[in-house]
Amino acid sequence: MRTDVDGTADWTTPGAFEVVSGLFRIPLPLLGDALRAVNVYAFLDGAGGDGVGLIDSGWAIPSAHRQLRESLAAIDRRIEDIQRILVTHVHRDHYTEAVQLRREFGSRVGLGQGERTSLEIAMSPREVPWEAQLSKLRSQGAAVLADEIAVHLRTETMTGDEWEEPDDWLAPGETELSGRRLRAIATPGHTQGHLVFHDADRALLFAGDHVLPGITPSIGFESAPSINPLGDFLTSLATVRAIPDARLLPAHGAVTDSVHARVDELAAHHDVRLAATELAVRAGASTAFEVAVLLRWTRRERDFDELDRFNQMLAINETSAHLLLLASRGQITSTVLDDVRHFG
C-alpha cells in the first residue's frame, strides 16, 4: 500500500520529484541528524508564471541551500523565484532556511501563530542554548544527563542569528500558495503551533512532522511546551482523521497513499506505550527518567543505555508526555518534590 512516487528505494535521493502536476517533493540534507533529510514541497505557479511557493524550507546550511537551487533548476525554476513559504513548525530543519531565503531574495514567510513563544526564546541571544529543555530534563529526574549535555553544548555556536520572526503569523483556516487553495489546520503536539496544510481539491495533506511514515513524531520537544503535549497530539491525530482521507506528504519519509492508515498506526502505538508506561510506574519507577530506562526504544527495541545523549533526552521527553497524559486521565498521580516530578 505504501507508494514511493519517485520509483526510487530511498526517499532522500536528491532531486525534484513530481507528486502531482505542478507540485514537486524536494528532499534536502540535514546535519548529523537521524532523520536523514527533510522534504520541502515546491508549488509551481498555477497561472503559468515563474513564481514558486514552498511548504517548509529546510535547515539553513550551505549544502541544503545548494541542493534546493540545483533541484529547482532541474524543473526550470530559480531559487530567486521563491515568493512565499508556508512553514509547518518552528524546528530549525523546517524554518531557518525560510529566514535565509527571505534575507537573500525577499520571499514572504508564514509560520503558525502558536509558535510565537518558542520562536521568541530561540531568537533571544542571551538565552543559554536549550536552557528550557535542560531544566525540564532536570525536573524529569535526569540531572546528570542534563549536565553532560550542557557541557557538550558549550562547544556549539548557538547565537540565535538564524532566527527571525515570520512576515505572517498564520491562523488556522483558508490560505493560498501559488494560486492553490489550502486550508491550514492547527495540529498541536509535535510543537504547540504546528500546522498541516490540506489541499482538498487534490486530496493531499502536507503533514509536516505531525504524521510521519515509518517513525513516530517526537512530542513537545520545544522551548515552551504545553502542559499535556501528548494529549494535544492525540487530539490533533483525531482532527486529521476526521477530514477526508488524503495522500500523506510528510516532511521526513516517502509520500504514502493514506493519512488515515498512518494515523491509526500512530494512535495504536501510543496506546501500547501508555500501557507500558503505566506498568513501569506500577513497578516502582517514579520519574520520567526512571520510567524511560525501563522501556524499550526505537523500532529495534533498544535499551535506553544504547541511545546517544540527544536521543536519551528525546526518550525522557517522550516518556514524560506519556506520564503527563496518564496523570491527566487520573490513571496515575503526579507530585513535584524538590523541583522533580514524581509519578505513582
Count of all residues that appear for the chain in the document: 344
Residues in the interface with Zn ion (CB under 5 A) total: 2
Binding span for Zn ion by CB under 5 A among 10-18, 88-96, 301-309, 327-335: 88-96
Residue 17 corresponds to which amino acid?
F
Binding span for Zn ion by CB under 5 A among 109-117, 147-155, 173-181, 203-211: 203-211
Q: Which is nearer to Zn ion, 221 or 343 (CB)?
A: 221
Instruction: Tell the smallest beta-carbon distance from residue 217 to Zn ion (Å).
Output: 8
Give the separation between CA 112 and CA 168, rounded to whole angstroms: 8
Give the separation between CA 180 and CA 326, rounded to whole angstroms: 41
273: cell is 506505550
Give the separation between CA 250 and CA 252, rounded to whole angstroms: 5
Interacting residue with Zn ion among 81, 115, 209, 232 (CB under 5 A): 209
Q: Which is nearer to Zn ion, 122 or 291 (CB)?
A: 122
Instruction: Tell the smallest beta-carbon distance from residue 41 to Zn ion (Å).
Output: 13
Q: Which is nearer to Zn ion, 217 or 231 (CB)?
A: 217
Instruction: Tell the smallest beta-carbon distance from residue 209 to Zn ion (Å).
Output: 4
Q: Which residues, numbered 223-262, are part of the site for Zn ion (CB under 5 A)?
A: none
Q: Which is nearer to Zn ion, 185 or 326 (CB)?
A: 185
Choose among 90, 95, 98, 93: nearest CA to 120: 90
In this structure, the number of other CB atoms found within 10 A of the CB of residue 152 comes to: 12
Instruction: Tell the smallest beta-carbon distance from residue 60 to Zn ion (Å).
Output: 14
- State phi, psi for 304 to the nearest 5 degrees: -55, -40
Binding span for Zn ion by CB under 5 A among 89-97, 108-116, 183-191, 331-339: 89-97
Give the separation between CA 278 and CA 333, rounded to whole angstroms: 11
Instruction: Tell the smallest beta-carbon distance from residue 6 to Zn ion (Å).
Output: 20
Q: Which is nearer to Zn ion, 81 or 93 (CB)?
A: 93
198: cell is 490540506
Q: How far is CA 246 from CA 2, 144, 240, in A?
A: 13, 45, 10
In this structure, the number of other CB atoms found within 10 A of the CB of residue 109 comes to: 21
* Residue 246 contacts residue 204 (beta carbons within 8 Å): yes
Which residue has its beta carbon closest to Zn ion? 209
- Binding of residue 56 to Zn ion (CB under 5 A): no
Give the separation between CA 344 and CA 119, rounded to whole angstroms: 34
114: cell is 502558536
Please identify which residue in the block is written with the cell numbers 526512571.
Answer: 290
Residue 296 corresponds to which amino acid?
R
Instruction: Tell the smallest beta-carbon distance from residue 300 to Zn ion (Å).
Output: 21
Binding span for Zn ion by CB under 5 A among 8-16, 85-93, 150-158, 234-242: 85-93
Instruction: Tell the smallest beta-carbon distance from residue 326 to Zn ion (Å).
Output: 26
Q: Which is nearer to Zn ion, 209 or 290 (CB)?
A: 209
Q: Which is nearer to Zn ion, 45 or 209 (CB)?
A: 209
Instruction: Tell the smallest beta-carbon distance from residue 65 to Zn ion (Å).
Output: 17
Give the separation between CA 220 and CA 314, rounded to whole angstroms: 10
| Interface residues toward Zn ion, by CB under 5 A | 93, 209
